[in-house]
Chain A
């Protein structure tokens, strides 16, 4: 099993080979987008922790009913999770079982990685598409959660849709980097 536990500090993102200028430019844009998106993700994590801590203080010490805190934290954490999916993928931080890589030759490994990135892209692209349709329905039908607070569901669905779209784009970029002519990156 591969893993992303950091022992020696942060690694640089894995870039596709700069063989094709369009790919190289798309890669630079994606690196920038991923870095920019990380800021709201980090803030959302801290905000969720603060909201849940406030919930304890409000209920126990201030005797104020707590009806919005859990759902706010859920929206923040769902957003942080999906938004950072592409960033984590750029470091190949989504773990997989890479045992077979050691038994295969470079050519077979290259085909294997094209399959891996291609299927991963198709899955995430489908998921992103269905997230957008879900968001569209929730927005037009005015869907809300079933709680007494009842916030609109388009909020988390939109976060999921944007996050999965970014992830699909990241995977498409990595897939294109493998099939495009030019120097290859190792599997």
Chain B
């Protein structure tokens, strides 16, 4: 069988087994094992477990469960609600301030918890009812939270970025920093859109009121006193200090990324114990159970994706495909557009972890040959995968929102997120024209790459 035929068979077998509904981890492992059996020396099967262990036993990869633990501790506490309320009180005077407060609360929470669905759930459960009570349309309210939640995989410490750094053999510290500029740009774009949309809905509510309709809650002003605002800070302060402290530990040279994950988890558990009195076994158990469930599911996918990539590489499938793509001599930007299109399509079905580990051996060599900076590409790819979290048919965040606010029709949520998908496209274009948005900050902190 020719290398091309084996490659095609590998792709088809993967699609068939995955679409059968088999768990992604076992599907990838089974296909890899079957192709090892038929096309690789018998000895390869004897070392399969050793391969998986050696690939997984990387302290960088194994920092993922600890980042999840840190996120779960914060996510299971009332920190999200407090954070959102403080943001709301302090931004109340800005037109559309409530929507903007939600975007900011999502960004901050995402940076603390590192998980998109956890952010949607924590901020959305407080933010969506409040926005609707204040007259925001349900789709708009849902869109803000779904889109704000996606920032979880762009802002550090992002699990997606940890995997990209491992797969692309790039500096994790640099990649984390490269996500900050584009993350802030997306926050700004979302906030500006929220303000614009608020004004539009406000004008419509005002016109309807003048025509004799019932007064929308949007037209009411709610004022917070300075005392109310200040009183909200003590509960939020420690978590912001944790966020900053973890970053200082990482970039101040005090701790490695995995140590940062451990330190962050311990501090987060300590903070929820002190601030929210969550120290009894019945409080801590749900945090640990949810961490085990999410991290085990992810680590199994990661381990088996690595086995899948190993077989793909041993059978020269990835090298041949990458060489074929390079050999097509596509113009640089067409190549990038084609790769990003593929990532979008894969995002219909696969979680970001699988997309990165399965495609990295194929897409990274052509991108490198075309002269793209892989750190920059990591950020662009992450934003494109963020879109996968909110675009139909299977955007995870859409379903989390549906759980948080079951009475909002799915159609409204989908239309509500669409403008935000558009803004993410704008962000990708801006990054293509101005790559410095991603690269200036790591260059500033860590110096230019050698």
- Residue numbers of A with Cβ under 8 A of B are 1, 3-8, 10, 38, 41-42, 45-46, 48-53, 55-56, 60, 70, 73-74, 77-78, 80-81, 84-85, 87-89, 91, 93-101, 112-113, 115-116, 119-120, 122-124, 126-127, 130-131, 133-134, 156-157, 160
Contacts and interface: CB of A to CB of B under 8 A. Distances in A.
B288 A73 contact: no
B282 to A, nearest CB: 13
B24 A95 contact: yes
Interface of B: 17-27, 29-30, 33, 45-46, 48-50, 52-53, 56-59, 62, 65-66, 69, 117-118, 121, 249, 254-255, 258-259, 261-263, 265-266, 269, 285-286, 288-297, 299-301, 303, 349-351, 393-394, 396, 399-400, 403-404
Contact of B21 (A53, A113, A126): A113
A78 B58 CA distance: 10
A1 B59 contact: no
A129 B396 CA distance: 35
A61 to B, nearest CB: 10
B128 to A, nearest CB: 13
A41 B400 CA distance: 27
A156 B286 CA distance: 26
A96 B22 contact: yes
Contacts of B349: 1, 97, 99
A134 B49 contact: yes
B292 A112 contact: no
Contacts, number: 201
Contacts of A93: 293, 296-297
B27 A96 contact: yes
A52 B292 contact: no
A133 B49 CA distance: 9
B19 A99 contact: yes
Interface of B is mostly: helix
Given A97-B349, A123-B33, A53 B49 contact: no
A95 B351 contact: yes
B261 to A, nearest CB: 7
Given A87-B292, A101-B21, 16 more contacts: A4-B294, A10-B289, A45-B66, A49-B269, A52-B261, A81-B299, A84-B293, A85-B296, A94-B25, A94-B297, A96-B22, A99-B393, A100-B19, A122-B30, A127-B52, A130-B49
A115 B18 CA distance: 12
A131 B18 CA distance: 25
A99 to B, nearest CB: 7
A115 B297 contact: no
A163 to B, nearest CB: 9
A156 B295 contact: no
A95 B288 contact: no
A38 B24 CA distance: 23
B249 to A, nearest CB: 7
11 contacts: A1-B396, A45-B265, A53-B262, A56-B262, A73-B262, A77-B62, A87-B292, A88-B300, A94-B300, A95-B23, A96-B22
B53 A94 contact: no
Given A52-B258, A73-B262, A116 B48 contact: no
A160 B255 CA distance: 29
Contact of A49 (B22, B262, B404): B262
- The CB with the most chain A CB atoms within 10 A, among B18, B69, B300, B349, is that of B300
Contacts of A97: 18-19, 21, 24, 349-350
Contacts of B393: 99
Given A1-B350, A7-B404, A55 B297 contact: no
B49 A127 contact: yes
B266 A49 contact: yes
Contacts of A6: 290, 293
Contacts of B285: 42
A145 B23 CA distance: 32
B292 A133 contact: no
A48 B68 CA distance: 13
Contacts of B117: 3, 5
Nearest to B399: A3
B66 A48 contact: yes
Contacts of A124: 26
Contacts of B286: 10
A107 B349 CA distance: 24
A89 B23 CA distance: 9
A48 B288 CA distance: 13
Contacts of B261: 49, 52
Contacts of A80: 65, 292, 295-296
Contacts of A56: 249, 254-255, 259, 262-263
Contact of B288 (A4, A46, A74, A101): A46
A2 B313 CA distance: 29
Contact of A78 (B48, B56, B399): B56
Contacts of B399: 3
A28 B64 CA distance: 32
Contact of B53 (A42, A52, A53, A160): A160
Contacts of B265: 45-46, 49
B294 A49 contact: no
B266 A53 contact: yes
A53 B294 CA distance: 22
B263 A119 contact: no
B292 A1 contact: no
